[in-house]
Structure 1
Amino acid sequence: MTSESFKKANRGGPDFMVTDPTSSVSLASNLEISSHIQPGRLKLLTDEEHRVNLAANVRSIWSIPQAEKKLFDQEQYEKEAEQCINVFVKWEEHQQVDFITQLFSKMCHYQHGLINGYLRPMLQRDFITALPGKGLDHVAEKILSYLDADSLKAAELVCKEWYRVISDGMLWKKYIEHMVITDDLWRGLAERRGWMVTLFKPNSQGNAHKYYRSLYPKLIADIERIENNWRTGKHRLEKIVCRSESSKGVYCLQYDENKIISGLRDNSIKMWNRKTLECENTLTGHTGSVLCLQYDKNIIISGSSDSTVRVWSITDGSLQNTLIHHSEAVLHLRFQDGIMVTCSKDRSIAVWDMQSPSDINLRRVLVGHRAAVNVVDFDHKYIVSASGDRTIKVWDTSSCEFVRTLNGHRRGIACLQYHGNLVVSGSSDNTIRLWDIDFGSCLRVLEGHEELVRCIRFDSKRIVSGAYDGKIKVWDLQAALDPRTPNGTLCLRTLVEHSGRVFRLQFDEFQIVSSSHDDTILIWDFLDTEEET
């Protein structure tokens, strides 16, 4: 160290301090520096004085030649690091963790990043590969079975062992089975495409995994095509001409994958084969138009303008029961879980207990509407009714007590559906309204039909409506529930094929089935369109 540099380092400063030999400033360096100090200016520091004046000593050390300083720093570091490690390994585990925690708290973010990069590989464990080696293949399969489709595809590419676990565990088959159970669209595709018969059964074929792995992209392609066809209105149309002998018109219908059952203006109920579109049975007995019906796996229940409700065997079409209560036409009915609700032009609603087809008893009559009650729907919580008096009334299902009235339509209400907390209604004011049943508030008004909205259905994605203008409209339900969406964007598609009033419709993920005053039933297929078939 030169005299000039020493003077600059100590100009105006206190007596130069010699630190403890074990500090970061070495004894050798201090001795070198001390040769420039006059007698009487050298003194030892206490611990407290050392901490206070450490900064001044560090400034002086930078004037030491760099090569010499680096050599010293490395030797001193190795010595002190060894001492620290020797002490560290003697501590209990919790003491070691506590010490490292304190040490980390003294570090900067950059140091944390370096240490993280070192620790990450140490903490990684390929448990999927390790588990089968311990006889725990089923655990590895269970873990991977929680992946979604994109993650499952990525997992196949990790390594051969992961691919083997996925293949041997038939995880693509299990994924498809899970989707079929939980999603109506997947379940419908399984039935429509015919591969439902291979699911939920053990597979003995060696190439079964490849079959289901290749099936997945086909399913996705079908789903994308369906969604696009709904948006663009592309469909394949099938027609049933009912050929009624007297008065023409199909007032009501219900369908499944095997059959369509319709109620006609000529007083009959006709059962149609879903594949051949041929009439397989005709039920007669009503003396007026069949205005409403519903069926399950055992029975058909119908309501008529002859004021009666009739119960039929779905197997052979035999009449099981006739209920005489209403004094005028039975306009609508619904049944489920041992309860049936009917409504009538006589302004009343009847609630029935159903023990069997031959044992159906009146529980309660609900009175409150001031005009014909055109439609009812219900679940375990509420009965919902709509009337020509422009109101929707809500009743408690258990007690049959009145709950509230929904007001808003400017003319009589012809149709509604109730599900969850949502009611969707159609009226002769040509509008559709969406309601929150718990608060009684109108969420949205849909405009577009030119005449009375006669029938309406909705699912989680869409509302489909039919009107006396002969048109069927498809609406975006989720967009309609968002108050920020402009009204003009809500109608996705208008379908025009009927030549008369649309009386009734039902739809699922793949199709709409509608009936009309023109004496036809139309099937609008959005899966297998004309172009694709």
Structure 2
Amino acid sequence: MTKEFQIRYQSDIVSSLSRRLMNDVVEEIFNYLDYDSLKNSEAVSVQWRDNIAYGKTWKKLLERNLRLSAEWREMLEILVLKWSLDSSVPKNYMHCRTLCKQVGNSVSKLRRNWLEGRHSKNEFTDFSQPEIESIFWIRGSLNFEMNKSWIGRGQRDGSIRFWNRWTLETSAIFQPLLLTNRLLGCNTVRCLQFNDDIVVASYFGGSICIWNVHTTELLQVLDEMDVANYESHYIPVNGLSLGGSPGNYWLLSCLSSPTEQDFVTLRLIKSPSEEIPIVHRIVLDQKLRVLQLLVNDTHVMLLISDTETKRDQIQIRSTASMEILKTIQIPYSEMGVFDYRKGLLLVGSRYEIQLWDTETAICIRSVRSSSSIVFVKIISDRYWVSCNTSGKVEVWDLKCALNPAHTRSVLLHQLDATNLHCPLLYPVVRADEYQIALIPCRAKDYSELHIIDFLQLDEKAPIDRPID
């Protein structure tokens, strides 16, 4: 802030009120400010700073933002996990001021980094595994999942290993109990889902295991093969989605076969240690194949491919009744992907990404890609991320995509997650507001985890040139 600016405000209303001993009024004025405004106000003069301290304005701002802003609450959680900060609001005002600035600066920095393409790159070599000559491993255990606390991945012996996402230290190992009298590779993890309470994994043998995330205790082993002919070689394909809230978790699974019908099963988990009832089970037409599925409190979404007509569709069903509410026809893809957030459906196919309004079933925006899309994800209300078969990650402007008047490209940045210059075998990608994580999946090479971090500390981190 310039000296002229400071001098100009030495005799402003705040100073006048303070001279008249009307500090309560000054306090109320500062209480209306947001983070950036309060930070700038503190730099105006010593008197302004003293008034802010007198009213304990930083403490009030922190408490208000943690109560009203999900962005601030999540950022505090991340800072606690990443840098071992104390998550409680300190009683000491100066400590409270410091914590508020740490959270506020991190929120501002994260927004700026996404907009400018600033990021750091990290490689997690301990994420790789010994080479296994098994098609089951190739198709299954390359998958991994992450949430704000952990990164999880299936291991060679069928166990699930968790790492602290921010320190990359091993956090927990979950051991399964599987039937062994089935197909070769039946102990290979096919799909993995977890939240703050439970871990769920499906296996090629048709079993689904559920653990307590905190104690690692195995709570349930569900047998999906009870609906199938063992000789039909059913295996879960893109078989799991876990949604809902504590006390009402929904578990959606799919048992699929290249020669028989697909079974889609919806279970309700009220208490994972008690019997888990099947709420709905549907059997699809033999020509239909489920490529991906998703469940939340209100909707079940199935990405289905018609093997006869070579057409794909998204079925939107009611979670309560499994009744089909809408069907959206989308471009054909051998391994279609989609994501859903707040009424927006993002679909990736061979050379195209489409953004749909699920309420009206209208395609809002369609963009082309040079390679087949293997991953899409809507990031907050500002961006979406995609990755193609070559491992190129692209960041798109969601707000511009939603604006019909915006006719220019909505592509913001192209990011290289790795420095590899070799063919990739369908990269596996996960992303959220803080990081994009990718396994390159080179053929017969169990690659390490590559992380693009938008919450990095290195001020010299690379800046990708915006796309014109």
TM range (shorter): 0.7 to 0.9
**Matching residue within 306, 310, 318 for 1:396:** 318
Deviation at 1:270, TM superposition (A): 2.3
| Local SS of the residue matching 1:388 | strand
Residues 375 and 278 (structure 1 numbering): CA distance in 2 closer, same or farther, change over 3 Å?
Answer: same
Structure 1: gaps of 5 or more residues: 1-123
Deviation at 1:352, TM superposition (A): 0.8
Give CA deviations for 1:100-159 in whole Å, capped at 9, x if unaligned.
Answer: xxxxxxxxxxxxxxxxxxxxxxxx9999659976xx94x764553222235435665888
Return the alpha-carbon distance in structure 1 between the equivalents of residues 197 and 14 of structure 2: 57
Residues 180 and 190, structure 1, Cα contact 8 Å, conserved in 2: no
Q: Quote the residue 1:347 is aligned against.
A: 262
Deviation at 1:305, TM superposition (A): 2.6
Return the alpha-carbon distance in structure 2 between the equivalents of residues 189 and 468 of structure 1: 30
Q: Quote the residue 2:35 is aligned against.
A: 149
Query: How much is the aligned-residue C-alpha RMSD, in angstroms?
Result: 3.7
Residues 174 and 211, structure 2, Cα contact 8 Å, conserved in 1: no
Return the alpha-carbon distance in structure 2 between the equivalents of residues 270 and 157 of structure 1: 48
Give CA deviations for 1:281-308 in whole Å, capped at 9, x if unaligned.
Answer: 3634452432222112332111233222
Query: In terms of Rg, which structure is larger?
Result: 1
Deviation at 1:342, TM superposition (A): 1.8
**Matching residue within 106, 121, 129 for 1:236:** 121
Residues 59 and 97, structure 2, Cα contact 8 Å, conserved in 1: no
Return the alpha-carbon distance in structure 1 between the equivalents of residues 44 and 413 of structure 2: 43
**Matching residue within 223, 232, 239 for 1:324:** 223
Return the alpha-carbon distance in structure 2 between the equivalents of residues 379 and 223 of structure 1: 30
TM superposition score normalised by structure 1 = 0.65
Residues 511 and 177 (structure 1 numbering): CA distance in 2 closer, same or farther, change over 3 Å?
Answer: farther
Count of residue pairs brought into register by the alignment = 402
**Matching residue within 177, 191, 194 for 2:80:** 191
Residues 198 and 164 (structure 1 numbering): CA distance in 2 closer, same or farther, change over 3 Å?
Answer: farther
Higher strand share: 2
**Matching residue within 293, 301, 307 for 1:384:** 301
Q: Quote the residue 2:466 is aligned against.
A: none
- Tell whether 2:399 aligns with 1:478: yes
TM superposition score normalised by structure 2 = 0.73
- Tell whether 2:363 aligns with 1:464: no
* 1:151-170 correspondence runs (5 A): 151-152=37-38, 163-170=49-56
Deviation at 1:279, TM superposition (A): 7.7
In structure 1, what residue type is equivalent to 2:277?
N
Residues 415 and 455, structure 1, Cα contact 8 Å, conserved in 2: yes
Give the number of the structure with larger relative contact order, counting CA–CA contacts within 8 Å between residues 6 or more apart.
2
Residues 174 and 217, structure 2, Cα contact 8 Å, conserved in 1: no
Return the alpha-carbon distance in structure 1 between the equivalents of residues 77 and 281 of structure 2: 39
Residues 315 and 188 (structure 1 numbering): CA distance in 2 closer, same or farther, change over 3 Å?
Answer: closer
**Matching residue within 36, 54, 57 for 1:171:** 57
Return the alpha-carbon distance in structure 1 between the equivalents of residues 37 and 190 of structure 2: 51
Deviation at 1:362, TM superposition (A): 0.4
| Local SS of the residue matching 1:492 | strand
- Tell whether 2:425 aligns with 1:510: no
Residues 471 and 502, structure 1, Cα contact 8 Å, conserved in 2: no
* 1:44-443 correspondence runs (5 A): 129=18, 137=24, 141-142=27-28, 144-152=30-38, 163-181=49-67, 182-184=69-71, 186-187=75-76, 190-191=79-80, 194=83, 196-197=85-86, 200-203=89-92, 207-208=94-95, 211=98, 215=101, 219-220=104-105, 223-224=108-109, 227-228=112-113, 231-232=116-117, 234-240=119-125, 241-244=127-130, 246=132, 247=134, 249=138, 250-256=141-147, 258-263=149-154, 267-274=158-165, 275-278=167-170, 280-281=172-173, 283-285=175-177, 287-325=186-224, 327=228, 328-330=234-236, 331-335=238-242, 336-337=244-245, 338=248, 339-345=250-256, 346-357=261-272, 358-368=274-284, 370-389=287-306, 390-412=312-334, 414-427=336-349, 429-443=350-364
Give CA deviations for 1:468-517 in whole Å, capped at 9, x if unaligned.
Answer: 33333222222222234346442521324266334533223321122343
In structure 2, what residue type is equivalent to 1:507?
A
